[in-house]
Amino acid sequence: MENRAHNFFAGPAALPLEVLKQAQAELLNFRGTGVSVMEISHRDKAFIAVTEEAEADLKKLLGLGDDYAVLFLGGGATHQFIMLPMNVLNEGDCADYVDSGNWAHRAYEEACIQADWAKAKANCIASTRELEKKYCVLPEVKQENMNPNAKYLHFCSNNTIYGTQFFEKNYPKPLPGVPLVADMSSGFMSHSFDATKFDMIYAGAQKNVGPAGVTVVVIKKSWAETFQKKGFQLPKTLDYKVQIEKGSMFNTPPCFNIYITGLVFKWMLEMGGLKAMEARNDKKQKMIYGAIDNSNGFYRGYVQNPEHRSWMNVTFNLPTPELEEEFVKSAKAQGMLGLKGYRTLGGIRASIYNSTTPESVETLVNFMESFRKAH
């Protein structure tokens, strides 16, 4: 285990070592069944227990009760870009969207397609896309731009590519009676917040809570019960009400991925829950942003406003692209992986999700200082 690298990939990303060891130990004989969890039916009592425990543990972490359902679905968070408007919007309806980054914009684009098909409308009520330095700050979300008849207000909590993040203190506030929906993929479970403010939260697991291939959807049951498509029936695999009724088991779910995600939830509970995750992540982000801000301009953060900076995806540049290339190469040679910035932005990106240890961040910060002194 001493040869494990320091993992800064943006997703799929780091998993807790404790979880990997448990999965390794159970790989050939899951809970005395004599087979791997990948080899048993999703209808078997042993696997149903996995999903039920994962749902209960997630609700405990979020402080939610039986008025919420937890779904474990395939298709990635981007699939929810389609499912959400497809389930909710009918002719004449509208939904409000906040465009704060690449994935928020993708969600809005998909909503426009689905809304047009349903003879409805998706409204972009706030955006930082057209700034000269695109998405370098969070947009100002004003209620005066919202539609009081909107079927929901949607935002993405963390900007994986550019490195901004909404926290509870600056979550968009919908107009009274308008449901609040968030794509929390890369910020999910990274800090404490009041989950009861949301009618729906969804997240691709591969950032903070599991491997790629499963998407977690937390949805208020009473809201889902209001969904009614007029004039046609949704495909059952795309119908939230069907998925809730069947407990994510309408068709074969991504079983192994759900199993790992459930182990991560148990790890989080053992660590102390969301408050412990918040303290851990606050420590890490302070270390790395401190290294950037105290570098006399050698490292330049893409997001300058400390209130808008992501705790999960730290983006920065060096004086030249050549130095950035050397930085990534040298870091990799010393066991630090995944530091190259997103292809459309460039620069450096260090993704420091829940499972990335403070020791790994400290190793990176020490490397940043030695690299700066050498150049």
Which residues are marked as active site?
103, 183, 207
Cα separation, 47 vs 27, in Å, equals: 14
Dihedral Cα 56, 60, 66, 68, nearest 10 deg = -90
